[in-house]
Structure 1
Amino acid sequence: MDFQSVLEKRRSIRKFDTRPIPKEIVEAILEAGRRAPSGGNIQPWRYVVVEDEAVRKRLKEASPLSFFAEAPLLILACFDREAIKKMPERFAELTASNAFEDVTMDAGKVEALRAQRANDEVEKASYAVYNTAISVTHMDLTAVAHGLGTCWIGMFDKEKVREILGIDARFGIVCALQIGYALQSPPSRPRLSMDDIVLQRF
């Protein structure tokens, strides 16, 4: 499937077949997430992969949504709260790989911005969250390219999920991505017009 078709085909699916997803496709989805870009290459995403039916049944307790954990694959997207501390190390890796060839940067300003982010808990968390969301999008679109349906879900009790899955407090929970063979083919969802979303052009 070409990329434009993937974008046009993607829908939020809420009814799934119980068929398991082949291991090679699950690995391809996770690999797509691993290869996502991130600011400073910090790669803060960490995944909890849930395929076991008994575990998914327990997870249903954590959400008011009847379809939560119904798909044969649920990827819980988390972020490592400690990842940003590795930014100097990740930055050095980028430099060593010539990522900044012919690029100049004001080292003083870079360090000042880095220190500001490192000392601001809200900024630090939001930075990790939106980078993790990029990773989830990569997995989402890869699943669609493999003929699967997906649904991002945020409406669940994160602490209940943390308790059920035994996730350490070091890892913040961003969302769950449900993946499976779709049992529905919903129409294209309403979208705002280009005039509504583009504020200005220069």
Structure 2
Amino acid sequence: MEVSEAIKDRYSVRGYTNQKIEKEKLDAILDAGRLAPTGVNFQAFKIFVIDTKNNKDALSKIYPQDWFIQAPIVLAVVVDKSKSWTRPWDGKNIADIDGTIVMDHMILKATDLGLGTCYIAAFKKNEAIDFLGLGENEEPLLFTPLGYPNASRADRPRKSLEELVVYK
């Protein structure tokens, strides 16, 4: 699949089969995250691969939607703001940007491989920190279920380029 096809084909999947994900596919998805660009290449992130079958109760506390735990795996991207690059002129820490790029790379690769995902940012942060056993400087940033889709695409309207792009 071409990158442009993956961009167009990706959608927020809210229903999954329990079909196991092949190790080769999971490894390719994780490698896409590993290869994501980060500020000054600091790579101040971790990717957690969570088996939903063994962690249903904890995951349900983090994000209480039934479809979240239908997929066989949930991925979490965790960032460490103390190790990520900060712009010296204004103090902007880019850990959130780096972590989002990591998740986006994995989600597009998953789409390329026929797997479904859904960005989850509206989770219970303290539950996630406790479950993942994070350190003081580590912060959970994004989650996604990862599995074979069992839900129809619900197309969402998109603004036109004219509404979003400014030329100067």
TM-score (norm 1): 0.76
**Aligned-residue identity in percent:** 30
- Are residues 23 and 73 of structure 1, via their aligned partners in 2, closer, same or farther at CA, if it must alter by over 3 Å? same
Look up the equivalent residue of 1:137 and give its one-letter code. Answer: D
Q: 2:78: which partner in 1?
A: 78
Contact 2:78 / 2:138 at 8 angstroms: preserved in 1?
A: yes
Residue of 132, 135, 156 corresponding to 1:189: 156
Task: Flag the structure with higher helix content.
Answer: 1
Q: 2:34: which partner in 1?
A: 34
SS in 2 for 1:183: coil
Shifted more, 180-189 versus 148-157: the winner is 180-189
Residue of 165, 168, 174 corresponding to 2:135: 168
Deviations 1:104-127 (A, max 9, x none): xxxxxxxxx85456xx4xx22xx1
Contact 1:78 / 1:173 at 8 angstroms: preserved in 2?
A: yes
Q: 1:54: which partner in 2?
A: 54
Alpha-carbon RMSD: 1.8
- Are residues 40 and 189 of structure 1, via their aligned partners in 2, closer, same or farther at CA, if it must alter by over 3 Å? same
Aligned-residue offset at 1:29: 0.5
The within-5 A match list for 1:88-107 is none
2-side partners of 1:57 and 1:153: how far apart?
17
Look up the equivalent residue of 1:35 and give its one-letter code. Answer: L
1:159 aligns with 2:126: yes
Aligned-residue offset at 1:73: 1.3
Look up the equivalent residue of 1:13 and give its one-letter code. Answer: V
Q: 1:98: which partner in 2?
A: none
Q: 1:5: which partner in 2?
A: 5
Consecutive unaligned residues of structure 1, counting only runs of 5 or more, are: 88-112
1-side partners of 2:63 and 2:144: how far apart?
14
Q: 2:45: which partner in 1?
A: 45
Look up the equivalent residue of 2:66 and give its one-letter code. Answer: S
TM-score (norm 2): 0.90
For the pair shown, the structure with the greater C-alpha radius of gyration is: 1
Aligned-residue offset at 1:158: 1.2
Deviations 1:50-81 (A, max 9, x none): 02512133211222333223321111111023
Look up the equivalent residue of 2:67 and give its one-letter code. Answer: F
Look up the equivalent residue of 2:57 and give its one-letter code. Answer: K
Residue of 133, 139, 142 corresponding to 2:109: 142
Look up the equivalent residue of 2:72 and give its one-letter code. Answer: P
- Once superposed, which parts of structure 1, at least 4 consecutive aligned residues long, lie more than 6 Å away? none
Contact 2:80 / 2:138 at 8 angstroms: preserved in 1?
A: yes
SS in 2 for 1:15: coil
2-side partners of 1:32 and 1:115: how far apart?
29
Look up the equivalent residue of 1:163 and give its one-letter code. Answer: D
